[in-house]
Structure 1
Amino acid sequence: MNQLAAVEGSGLHRVLVLHGWALDSGVWLASRALTDQAQFCYAYFDFPGYGVNRRQAPAASLDDMAAAALAAADSLGWSSFSVVGHSMGGATAMRVATMAPQRVRSVVAVTPASPGGTPLDADAYAHFQSAWADPATRIVKALSPGIAPVDLRNLSARNRATMNQVVWDAYLANWTSANFLTELKNYDGPVELLYGEDDPFVTPAYLSSTIAALPRHNLRCIAKAGHYPMVEQPASTVGLWEAALATSAR
């Protein structure tokens, strides 16, 4: 059974939090200190192979990742909850909602990967895969060009401490091959899509197919941030996601 990395807060609104590809749930550390723990209860989940679940085999697909996240909510006895996810975890958050639409109050997807997958040609895929040699420069810095040097160093150290190359390769295959875009129509709850103003990868154009497939959505830009706004602009990012959660109607 996969463990939760942390559960914080006493609020009645329960929130499952999912990380992205290059980092475990430690990517949320800067924002965790700013959350409203009186209104919300946050559960931070590490996908199999990451962080506290590093000894587990990686999930075989994005569907399996969503199933593992749902099992984590089950372990807490949560019958109803919202989901916040970053990048790969943002796509997974939407998959959780399509797999359990009656349980998910709302979704906040921060710079999310596409539910329709991200087709890469052989050279581009090899570039992403080989970025394991230097993820700080080739992934984090490339996608968040304005990130502070201290944050870049810390994220790089966290990467090496919480995952290995087998996990890196497995989850690259998972998020690039996601294939549930047509199922987004099955979830009619609110979905907040947040993107970084300086993110060269997850842009409004990249998100256009996701937006078109969602019954309910809101798109917001986070100023002065790239692909890691919860690190670069934690206060504004938390403010936006908690405002979205607070107004969810389900």
Structure 2
Amino acid sequence: MESFVLPHTVHGDGPHKVVAVHGWFADRSAFDPILPDVDRSAFQYALVDLRGYGEAKDAPGAYTTAEGAADVLAVADRLGWERFSVVGHSMGGSVAQRLLALAPDRVRRLVGISPVPASGLPLPPEQWELFSSAAHAPQNRRVIIDFTTGGKRPAGWLDRMVSRSLERSEAKAFRAWLDSWAGEDFHAEVADSTVPALAVVGTLDPALTADLMRGTWLRWYADSRLLELPSAGHYAMDETPLELIRAMEDFLRADGDGRGQAPGNGPRPA
């Protein structure tokens, strides 16, 4: 498996280094809604485009979480980051956990935003058909986004999310990524990790739920916690950006880095 340096942008100049990995429906622009308000003096964020997305849309590859983890590690190497935290959304949460399995001594803290568990996400046949056909069916992408945000988001936002997804993902790669993040089980490789791990989920998301995290994330990671955002679905970056930033950065700074602030009153533990 050959790694290459994923396209990426760096934001901030803080001492705590953080790599952010997007999900199945978007490239690194998925994090645009939170960028204006992240703490750039405490953290330095590197946002990457996985193979098949954004500036890496035409990059060949296997399009697997294992390959993605190796690619993210190559970005950290290029930046000279020996230790860093990893934030991953949905599919990117699976990539982040693969990175923990690949280089456990280099991962400082792990944040999953509606993360796919390291055990994969088996789908019943009718859902598998919906998801697997979404590579070439924009209406399926819209149904999935609407479902995972509780059917509560406006039509214009759903249309924009679908348009962005189509524009910034390559259909063949999009389809191949599904087989990896949904079908691969590598939880034995991360079970009992002592790296501090936070899972953030949205109450409106019926797929990546707090109960699912209790049965996976909280069982596997010895120093883990779970936060639920009551007003969010699957896309907390868009739906509740300020609440997400507070939850994420309070957790990241809890080891004393950054400006030394203690975690405050964030979203409720789930």
Secondary structure of the structure 1 residue equivalent to 2:134? helix
Q: What per-residue deviation string (whole Å, max 9, x for no partner) do you get for residues 32-78 of structure 1?
A: 11111111000001111100111102434211111111111111111
Equivalent position of 2:265 in the other structure: none
Matched, 1:141 2:146: yes
Pairing 1:67-106 to 2, within 5 Å after superposition: 67-106=70-109
Equivalent position of 2:245 in the other structure: 238
Contact kept in structure 1, 2:21 and 2:96, CA below 8 Å? yes
Matched, 1:217 2:238: no
Counterparts of 2:247 and 2:223 in 1: how far apart (Å)?
17
Equivalent position of 1:55 in the other structure: 58
Pairing 1:85-234 to 2, within 5 Å after superposition: 85-132=88-135, 133=137, 134-144=139-149, 145-185=151-191, 187-207=193-213, 208-234=215-241
Secondary structure of the structure 2 residue equivalent to 1:106? strand
Counterparts of 1:247 and 1:36 in 2: how far apart (Å)?
14
Pairing 1:35-50 to 2, within 5 Å after superposition: 35-50=38-53
Contact kept in structure 2, 1:65 and 1:92, CA below 8 Å? yes
Counterparts of 1:121 and 1:203 in 2: how far apart (Å)?
17
Bigger drift between 51-60 and 61-70 goes to 51-60
Contact kept in structure 2, 1:101 and 1:186, CA below 8 Å? no
Contact kept in structure 1, 2:58 and 2:170, CA below 8 Å? no
Counterparts of 2:128 and 2:200 in 1: how far apart (Å)?
25
Q: What per-residue deviation string (whole Å, max 9, x for no partner) do you get for residues 165-190 of structure 1?
A: 20111111110123211122353110
Bigger drift between 187-196 and 137-146 goes to 137-146
Counterparts of 2:246 and 2:62 in 1: how far apart (Å)?
31
Equivalent residues, number = 250
Unpaired runs of at least 5, structure 2: 258-270
Contact kept in structure 2, 1:2 and 1:68, CA below 8 Å? yes
Counterparts of 1:121 and 1:149 in 2: how far apart (Å)?
27
Unpaired runs of at least 5, structure 1: none
Counterparts of 1:48 and 1:61 in 2: how far apart (Å)?
9
Counterparts of 2:96 and 2:255 in 1: how far apart (Å)?
15
Q: TM-score, normalised by structure 2?
A: 0.87
TM superposition shift of 1:195: 0.3
Contact kept in structure 2, 1:195 and 1:202, CA below 8 Å? yes
Counterparts of 2:123 and 2:146 in 1: how far apart (Å)?
20
Counterparts of 1:51 and 1:16 in 2: how far apart (Å)?
16
The aligned amino acid for 1:205 is D
TM superposition shift of 1:249: 6.6
Q: TM-score, normalised by structure 1?
A: 0.94
The higher relative CO (CA closer than 8 Å, separation ≥ 6) is in 1
